[in-house]
Chains A and B, each alone.
Chain A
Amino acid sequence: MSWLLVLPLLIPLTTGILCLVLASRPAQRVLGLVGALSLLGSALALLIQVNARGIQAVQVGNWPAPFGITFVADHLSALMVLITGVVAVAVALYALATGDELREHLGYYPLSQLLLFGVNGAFLTGDLFNLYVWFEVLLLASFVLMILGGSKAQLTGGVKYFAVSLFSSILFLVAVGLLYGATGALNMADLATRVGSVAPGLLTALAMLFLGAFGLKAAVFPFFFWLPASYPAPPVMISALFAGLLTKVGVYALIRVFTLLFTQDVGFTHGLILWIAGLTLLLGVLMALAQGELRRLLSFQLVSHIGYMLMGLGILSPLALTGSVFYALNHMIVIAALFLLAGLLHRLQGTTVLVRMGGLYRSHPWLAVLFLLPAFSLAGLPPFSGFWAKFTLVAAGLQAGQYAIVTVALLVGLLTLLSMGLVFAEVFWKDAPQALGQAPGGWGGLVVPVVLLAVLTLGIGLWAEPLLGLSQAAARELLEPGRYIEAVLGVSR
């Protein structure tokens, strides 16, 4: 049994339990950081092993594959777990520096570890019903985190988030039940070998149910309304964690089922995904341009950029899937950095409403540079990681002759740049509308995780080869499910 495969699950679980047992605040703070760092370490080790030895699979309790519980790590899973570790470390550092006593007292650390537990479980499981259970694990943790502290804004956002999540969970459960009824299998590799015998019409209907369930989680058009209503409500250390990780679980699940299971009617299903991608891209960025509050604006940007990841899935060529995977990884880093930066600006100016901010370029010029790094990366300017992500997708779109979606992608890139430029003008260039007070409390520690993430996106941009290579390997595995099936079932079919 490969321990590396279960470590990304055991580490957050153990840390979470220890945090509950050792209720003292200093101990929890140390544990939170240690847990995140060891998660990052184990994820790195897992990726190295997957890269060296191919897809890793573990059968829990040694029950043979279609019957037991399976954990699988291919390149996609391992990469997602790795970036989850990166985001976890950044958010843990940020949480250390905020000193939000109230939420630490209410159990922020154990809950955030359980959230990571659920997210990693969803990335690593090889069984569709277990995927449902992992979704519930991460959802329950995220519900509590969302309303932790119980302010009005949090409860309003929390109710909406809760309602939408419940609905998507039931949709997912129904889809799993019907797929089980049609095939008699739940293990994803086993399913992949059996879906061929299902009537094509029924299979397409099931694909639509899955698209609805995961689309709600990933906040794509037309299901994105809940995200900007709820994500800006909790404090930044929590919403950055959500923004970085939760929608990507939905995207991961979409990529997984629409490359492994539902590939029999690509013209319809993936064509529909392309439409959804285009509309998500456009509407998200247009709504972002209309926002007057920084975190709501970033939430709409988050929605918009989910569209890029779906664009690669919709085109479904090796290059396009490489772009999708690379985009998801890059976006987790960039959006977490921007959310954390919004929290830093909030600490400096006491507000995130754009008209009430200003004058920061004069007082903190280096902070302006720090903002521009992830903002340019989001807009896709070279030499940042976002450039390579967009470049790959656009090249794949041109190769496949999908000129409409390429036009939309390029246009949205420009609009993102405009949106980020407007934020820059409002927050940094404009004169401060009110006399700036001294920043309440220390804020030096808050800069550290933002700098780390910004340097990371610059580093990936300048030295894109390794991560692009790994994404390419992931795409290759996704398009040849035979290897995945062989790793899980032990036989190639």
Chain B
Amino acid sequence: MEILLAFLVGGLSAVGVYLMLRPHLIQFLIGFLVLGNAANLLIFTSGRLGSQFPPLVQPGGTVLTPIANPLPQALILTAIVIGFALAAFGIVLFFRAQQVLHTLNAEAMPESLEAAPAPSPVDEVREERR
């Protein structure tokens, strides 16, 4: 089982990294989600696999060995929530970038401040709003 998961994690990482290296931002975001899942599976695998007993102990009871390790699941849960928050923010950010910059290709975006020194970020925004 561990070996199967190891290959799965490796494959997902490869796909994720490949997508994150693409210039298109949507591909980048999907790559991030895939790579994030690979990381979560990795933590899950590096915990302990293959036990049938939940990590619950009755008051005064003895620990049933081997119990499942609850910590990796708690960690993954946190990581998933954070991953969702980042992905949601990314979608909104890229949507706004598309609106303002008219492109989602990271290579087509101008090097900030170098190509055209903006007068002042504040004034620029005020003009856009008028």
Beta-carbon contact of B121 and A173 below 8 Å: no
Q: A180-B72, A351-B117 are in contact. Are A102 and B126 (CB under 8 A)?
A: yes
Q: Which residues of A contact B110 (CB under 8 A)?
A: 152, 156
**Within the complex, what minimum Cβ distance (angstroms) separates A312 from chain B?**
32
CB B37 to nearest CB in A, in angstroms, measures 10
B75 at the interface (CB under 8 A from A): yes
Enumerate chain A residues within 8 angstroms of B101, measured Cβ to Cβ.
Answer: 152, 155-156
Closest to A98 in B: B122
How big is chain A's contact interface, by range?
35 or more
Contact partner of B94 (CB less than 8 A), chosen from A144, A151, A159, A352, is A159
Give the CA-CA distance A55 to B106 in the complex, in Å. 46
The answer, among B79, B106, B113, B126, for a CB contact under 8 Å with A233, is: B113
Chain B nearest Cβ from A379, distance in angstroms: 24
Query: Measured between alpha carbons, how far is A147 from B92 in the docked complex, in Å?
Result: 11
Q: List chain B residues, Cβ under 8 A from A52.
A: none
**Please, how many angstroms separate the alpha-carbon atoms of A129 and B47 in the complex?**
14
Does A163 lie within 8 Å of B106, measured CB to CB?
yes
A178: interface (CB < 8 Å):
yes
| Chain B residue nearest in CB terms to A185 | B71
In the complex, A386 has a CB within 8 A of chain B:
no
Tell yes or no: A350 within 8 A of B by CB. yes
Q: Once the chains bind, are A233 and B72 in contact (CB under 8 Å)?
A: no
Inter-subunit contact B117/A353 (CB<8 Å): yes
Complex: A169 Cα to B82 Cα, angstroms? 10
What's the dominant secondary structure at chain B's contact region?
helix
* B86-A166 in contact (CB<8A): yes
Provide the bound-state CA to CA distance between A147 and B89, in Å: 12
The reply to whether A143 and B120 contact each other, CB–CB distance below 8 Å, is: no
Is B125 a contact of A293 with CB atoms below 8 Å? no
Best-surrounded residue of A149, A234, A235 (most CB of chain B within 10 A): A149
B113 near A232 (CB under 8 angstroms)? yes
Residues 86-112 of B, flagged 1 when their CB comes within 8 A of A and 0 if not, give 100110011011001100001001111
Cβ-based interface call for A332 (8 A): no
B93 touches A143 (CB 8 A): yes
When the two chains form their complex, are residues A293 and B85 in contact, meaning their CB atoms are under 8 A apart? no
Contact: A143 with B89, CB < 8 Å?
Answer: yes
How far apart are B126's CB and chain A's nearest CB, in angstroms? 7
What residues make up the interface of B, taking CB atoms closer than 8 Å to A? 20, 25, 28, 32, 35-36, 39, 42-43, 45-47, 71-72, 75, 78-79, 82, 85-86, 89-90, 93-94, 96-97, 100-101, 106, 109-114, 117-122, 124-126, 128
Cβ contacts A to B, 18 pairs, < 8 Å: A136-B85, A150-B96, A152-B100, A153-B121, A153-B124, A155-B96, A156-B97, A156-B109, A159-B94, A166-B90, A169-B86, A173-B36, A177-B46, A181-B45, A232-B113, A235-B121, A293-B113, A353-B117
Chain A to chain B: the 5 pairs with minimum beta-carbon distance, closest first: A181-B46, A177-B43, A151-B121, A153-B112, A156-B112
